[in-house]
Amino acid sequence: MMTPDQMISNYFVAGSLPELPRNHFIDGVFVAADSGSRMESFDAGTGEAFAEFAAGSTADVDHAVASAAKGFEVWRNTPPARRCAILNEAARLMRAEADRLAVVESIDSGKTLAEAQGDVAGSARLFEYYAGAADKLDGRSVNLGNGNAAFTLLELVGVTAHIVPWNYPTSTLVRGIAPALATGCSAVVKPAETTPFTALMIAELLVRAGVPAGVVDVVTGTGIEAGAPLVTDPCMRHVTFTGSVTTGVGVMQNVAPNVTGLTLELGGKSPLIAFSDADAEAVAEGALWAIFSNSGQICSAGSRLVIHCDLHAKVLERVIEKAKGLRFGHGLRNPDMGAVNSERH
């Protein structure tokens, strides 16, 4: 197995990565798009295309949803202790393949290798966290008095959809599917069209960990061609979406006719507030990384700084000085800040 340095050196020479998944992952195997259409993926740090992947459509979504519905019937009857063991194995495999996942994440998203490594490590921990919940989710009994009792039973949601953003394609994916899997639900994932690869890699990794075929399916492509048919599918029982407010409103409107459960995480403006007794140096350092981490592409990025007038000049001077000292470059070179995700961004 190559070291990260070897993978990176080979990539800069060849301009591509070997054995990268290029098709949808449905029913436990990689399958081409129904239409045969493909899209290019661009290295955020160079702007050059480095791989192709399947461009999904309604037919591919229908195939994936049918697969997930079939997988759900198997997974829901898998003993919770077994689900726990499988998710722990997924965490182990993710750590074993962390170097490759981080390199792919850095190229695809533009973030620094260190940031990508942190995302992968955190995602492995998420699998472990929810593994611990798998066999501890149950109902309770209620004493109604006079010798009467009632009991509650937690029911599975069913097939779930996960629309994953481009700024944290690995950690947001795992944050959504890990609890779904722990509770016995199945998942259909639509990663962002600019960052499709780690979702495909993790879906295949989960099958190797013991997740039955069909329980996690991935359809790649655009939001219009693949994402919209997924969230409006009547078989979908819950949707998670991370993205812009405008698109989130559209998702909410689309799921309403089917009364589908919905979880939204939308972008916003997050102020950092410093009062007169704050440490100016600490404020400047915090403000710097609140806005430059992940190239500022965070839903909760510190994009506003509200400072008491007594500190304003000193903090502003320090922030400017610190920003001028940042090193920028290709994410694989591990600068202080990598590229934004795409030319459009």
Q: How many helices (H) and strands (E) does the chain have?
A: 11, 13
Q: Is the pLDDT of residue 1 over 80?
A: no
Which of 128, 204, 235, 265 is labelled catalytic? Answer: 265
How many Cβ atoms are within 10 Å of 53's Cβ, its own excluded? 22
The residue with tokens 């991935």 is 218
User: Which domains occur in the chain, in start order?
Assistant: 4-266 (3.40.605.10), 271-333 (no CATH)
pLDDT in tens, 169-210: 999 999 999 999 999 999 999 999 999 999 999 999 999 999
Q: What is the model's pTM?
A: 0.93
Report the mean per-residue pLDDT for the chain.
Answer: 95
Say what the pLDDT of residue 5 is. Answer: 87
Catalytic annotation present for 265? yes
Which of 299, 309, 317, 321 is labelled catalytic? Answer: 299
- Rounded distance, CA 139 to CA 76, Å? 16
pLDDT in tens, 41-74: 999 999 999 999 999 999 999 999 999 999 999 9
130, 90 contact by CB (below 8 A): no
Say what the pLDDT of residue 167 is. Answer: 94
Question: What's the half-sphere exposure (Cβ side, CA atoms, 13 Å) at 230?
Answer: 34
Which residues 6+ apart lie within 8 Å of 226 measured at CB?
55, 56, 57, 60, 61, 190, 219, 220
